[in-house]
Amino acid sequence: MSWSDFFYNNDARREKLARLGQEVLELMKNNFRATNMLSKALNTHCGCSFQQINLNEKHTVQQNCEVLLSAIGKIQEKVQEIDRQLKDALEPSCYQQLRSLQTPSTGDWRKVRNILAGVISIATAASCVALIGLVNSGLILSGVVLCIGGIATGALGCLVIGVLGLAIDLILSSFIGAMERDQLEKAIQEHEEVLRDFRPASHKYSETIMRVTVKIEMASESQH
């Protein structure tokens, strides 16, 4: 194989690595955006006070993952707290009835209000539906948490977020040919391993949050 073959193949590998890095970056941005969407909806309709979070491209992947994990953790804690209140305050049959409302109708809003009347300080059907949806999606939230935690502690964790997708910056090597090829292939493999689980978990996370926020809006509109 000639040197030109090495250069050509490495150019293709650099392009592939850049695409994979860009995909990781876009998934991270989507997860931040989805988390902020959920926080805003809970603040508006459920009386919560979650802070908006920002992806910082000057920080490492690990640092950004920690910000995201902290925000998701606070949401999970709040949901678990209210779920415990519901479980302690309601009869078992009423609690299960509340948890089973997957796509509530207008009649279900009344049912929710009747179940919770005088039990705990949740004033609107909108907040109830949002919290029920979050409790029911707990395993999905946990799935993305596991993936983000793996990224933070894995091979990509030390990279500055702003250079994801810039393969030539990721591979800081003066070598050419086979030695650079090996480094590129290793980096490609690391990115592909991350994306294998992170891609579907991120898509599911965003979809779940979208469903929950739609429920909040539907419930809120039904009360006007």
- Domain positions in the chain: 3-222
pLDDT in tens, 133-143: 776 667 667 77
Distances in whole angstroms, Cα of residue 167 to Cα of each of 51, 55, 127, 219: 33, 20, 45, 46
Residues 115, 163: Cα–Cα separation, whole Å: 52
- What percent of the chain has pLDDT above 90? 12
Element (H, E) at 105: none
What's the DSSP call for residue 154?
A: S
Backbone phi and psi for residue 60, each to the nearest 5 degrees, phi listed first: -75, 165
pLDDT of residue 48: 83
Question: Contact 24/195 with Cβ under 8 angstroms?
Answer: yes
pLDDT of residue 166: 52
Residues 34, 41: Cα–Cα separation, whole Å: 11
Sign (positive/negative) of CA torsion 150, 19, 56, 203? negative
pLDDT in tens, 66-117: 999 999 999 888 888 877 877 787 778 877 777 776 555 556 556 666 666 6
- Pick the range with the lowest mean pLDDT from 24-33, 166-175, 176-185: 166-175
Residues 29, 26: Cα–Cα separation, whole Å: 5
Q: How many Cα atoms sit within 13 Å of 89 on the Cβ side?
A: 15
List Cβ neighbours of 140 (8 Å cut-off, separation of 6 or more). 204, 205, 208
Residues 25, 42: Cα–Cα separation, whole Å: 26
Residues 133, 131: Cα–Cα separation, whole Å: 5
160: β partners: 60
Mean pLDDT score of the chain = 75
pLDDT of residue 176: 47
pLDDT of residue 139: 60
Question: Contact 167/17 with Cβ under 8 angstroms?
Answer: yes
Residues 144, 174: Cα–Cα separation, whole Å: 37
At 183, the pLDDT band (50, 70, 90 cuts) reads: confident
